A and B are shown apart, each in its own frame.
Chain A
Amino acid sequence: MDAAPTAPEMIEETERPLARVPLVLNKRNFSWLTGRISGVVENPAPRWWWVAFTITASVATFGLFCLGYQISTGVGTWGLNHPVGWAWDITNFVFWIGIGHAGTLISAILFLLRQKWRTSINRSAEAMTLFAVICAAIFPGVHVGRVWMAWYLAPVPNNWAIWPNFRSPLVWDVFAVSTYFTVSVLFWYTGLIPDLATLRDRATTKIRKFLFGLFACGWRGSNRNWRHYELAYLLLAGLSTPLVLSVHSVVSFDFATSILPTWHTTIFPPYFVAGAIFGGFAMVLTLLIPARAMFKLQDVITPQHIDKMAKIILLTGSFVAYAYTMEFFLAWYSGNSYERFAFWNRVFGPYWWYWWVGMLFCNCLSPQLFWFRWCRRNVYVVYFVCMCVNAGMWFERFIIIVGGLHRDFLPSAWGLFIPTWVDIWTYIGTLGIFTSLFLLFIRFLPMIAMSEVKTAVPEADPHYAAPTGIQSVSPVGKERTR
């Protein structure tokens, strides 16, 4: 435009960079990030860790005992009976598998959308995904009754010439969940390789050096390696994105392909996926808010990160609220008396308070607090909402599953579900397994992706020049400056 601009004019035009809140606060440099994040693994475990781990591991052990008791005695130890043949077990399955979805959303979808803030949280969210899927897989696995025959689900040639029905959503589920777990492990491990190399190079004992060296595969940060690595990471993200959407869709097909009122709906796949991401983000925050405080990682997992996750909870929570509303509308609009009754029964039937507390208050109303910036920036409010969502999403699955089963077409076949102590403690046991695995993870592996979070620091830009009067805006909210 300017044919021959003079020097002073050029400077005036270019010196207006967009001020952004930095993703890593207090101008932390690379070695601070390495030291602080590796320190979580390298320093002796704090006392609270041992206390927490003792509790969760005990609960997990009792949960495993319940599983053993259930397998050795039979499915009758659970409260399942006619008409409720799926209850807490499948509720827990859907609950856990849904939680996993946030991890893949953060690691894959936000990566494709170039959301750099994901780098602070993706590693722990991916780990959470794996542990949640492990907990999820327990329930259908045990629910088949004769666990040792679970291999019937796989297409293995056998001398009875028995093959799975490949058109059954339950078989799709086996493939979807096992693929999901495997791909999540590959994605997670690919991301871990450079960080394991960091721990290898910092290791002081021989055994650490050997083990981290073994799993780091001889990584040396070569750009000829990064080139293939980055493409592999991109493609894994690209593959995981449709995968994560498919997994909960397939889970919803377990219900949607049946003919039961409240289950037989086409809205289920998107509704389930939104609910999964909603519940998963609540669990990510449930784990990360304490972890960031305990390990003093507030400069890496900043109020901005919590704010953004809260916005995703608000968004997906509103999707979920819309889906709930649409279900009621369609039940009325369909003119089908069974469908209408089922939804009336959901609100005023024997499980009425599950709906009022779980679905209405916890899932629809509590996330609406996140319209307000003050609520998104206050960790106590955020934590309260996340706890509501964690509980609410469990209630939602219970209402969908048991609510659909307990009063179907014939009143003579109606009945309620009463959980036994084995039901209850198997579920609590999986909470113990999940938290124990997560506690072990933060002790033995870097809980923040160091090589990725470093790319979010301004100095990582190859065109970075030392600041000349450009001020970054300071984040709102109280920050530690240490």
Chain B
Amino acid sequence: MRTPAGHKVYAMAAEYPSAAALYEAAKRIRDAGFRRWDVYSPFPIHGMDEAMGLGKSWLSGWVLFGGVSGLLTAAVVEFGPSWFLYPLNVHGKPTNFFTVPAFFPIMFELTVLFGAFAAFFAMLGMNGLPRWYHPMFNWERFSRVTNDGFFLAIEARDPRFTETGVRELLEQSGGEHITIVHED
């Protein structure tokens, strides 16, 4: 879809006066059956995931993976040298199953370390960050999203997207400054 001036359309967007208004609007858009849309706010709004019809984030799976790999890494790094490469007998304590608890602190630390790395990089990866550019930044008012602006955008590639229909829906849901956001 293109505008008369020839710009490619990314979405139709609206601004809402408050978090509560955005929350109510999101429920309407969800119930209208749209799939490719998003809301933007300066802070996470409690309950917005349900209002948008989003399920649970599975980032936790990555963190589990990270934690388990940290545990295994520590096991290999500790037992490899201590058991096979360079067996140490300090204070009359050989490396065997009776002395295994002394290896636990490092296993714990690496579990946490790898889990934290997984959480951080999965957060960036699942969000498609870092990215230099996003069409929403083409809208001047949108710079207030990190201050006190609440926005909602329905993407043009949504199968239910029609210019008049979406405009009407945004108006009905209390949206202000409704506009077309360009892709380029």
Contact = CB atoms under 8 A, between A and B. Distances in A.
Contacts of A345: none
A66 B73 CA distance: 38
A182 B119 contact: no
A205 interface: no
A138 to B, nearest CB: 21
Nearest to A229: B123
Nearest to B106: A175
Nearest to A243: B112
B127 A186 contact: no
Contacts of A235: 59-60, 63, 115, 119
A221 B145 contact: yes
A183 B63 CA distance: 13
Contacts of A34: 42, 146-148
A31 B106 contact: no
Contacts of A179: 109-110, 112-113
Nearest to B91: A167
Interface in A440-454: 450-452, 454
Contacts of A465: 20
Interface string A220-237: 111111111111100110
Query: How many A residues touch the partner, as a band?
Result: 35 or more
A202 B109 contact: no
A223 B145 contact: no
B39 A163 contact: no
Interface stretch (A92-100, A193-201, A423-431): A193-201
A473 interface: no
Label chain B's interface by main secondary structure: helix
Contacts of A164: 81
Nearest to B126: A228
Contact of B46 (A176, A200, A220, A461): A461
A227 B46 CA distance: 10
Interface in A445-482: 450-452, 454-455, 459-465
B43 A225 contact: no
A232 B132 CA distance: 22
Given A227-B49, A232-B119, A462-B51, A201 B105 contact: no
A176 B105 contact: yes
B111 to A, nearest CB: 8
A229 B120 CA distance: 9
A273 interface: no
Interface residues of B, number: 71
Given A220-B136, A232-B59, A462-B48, A172 B105 contact: yes
Contacts of B43: 194, 451-452, 454-455, 460
A41 to B, nearest CB: 14
A111 to B, nearest CB: 13
A3 interface: no
A459 B18 CA distance: 7
A319 interface: no
Given A175-B109, A175-B110, A165 B20 contact: no
A462 B99 contact: no
A147 interface: no
A250 interface: yes
B32 interface: no
Interface stretch (B2-10, B82-90, B165-173): B82-90
Contact of B44 (A31, A246, A455, A459): A455
A253 B18 CA distance: 52
Interface string B64-97: 0001000000000110011001101010010000
A197 B131 CA distance: 12
Contact of A223 (B39, B142, B147): B39
Contact of A218 (B90, B110, B122, B130): B130
Interface in A161-177: 161-169, 171-172, 175-176
A217 interface: yes
Contacts of A242: 108, 112
Contacts of A39: none
B109 A228 contact: no
B44 A223 contact: yes
A462 B19 contact: yes
B39 to A, nearest CB: 5
B164 interface: no
Given A197-B146, A218-B133, A167 B102 contact: yes
Given A217-B131, A232-B120, A462-B24, 9 more contacts: A179-B110, A186-B120, A194-B43, A218-B134, A231-B57, A240-B116, A461-B19, A461-B46, A464-B20
Closest A-B pairs by Cβ, 3 of them: A217-B130, A462-B23, A30-B148
21 contacts: A31-B147, A155-B78, A161-B85, A163-B85, A166-B103, A168-B90, A186-B117, A194-B146, A219-B129, A224-B127, A227-B49, A228-B126, A230-B57, A235-B59, A246-B108, A454-B42, A455-B44, A460-B45, A461-B46, A462-B20, A462-B51
Interface of B: 18-20, 22-24, 26, 38-49, 51-52, 54, 57, 59-60, 63, 67, 77-78, 81-82, 85-86, 88, 90, 93, 99, 102-103, 105-106, 108-110, 112-113, 115-117, 119-120, 122-124, 126-127, 129-134, 136-137, 142-148
Interface of A: 29-31, 34, 155, 161-169, 171-172, 175-176, 179, 182-183, 186-187, 189-190, 194, 197-198, 200-202, 213, 217-232, 235-236, 239-240, 242-243, 246, 250, 253, 450-452, 454-455, 459-465
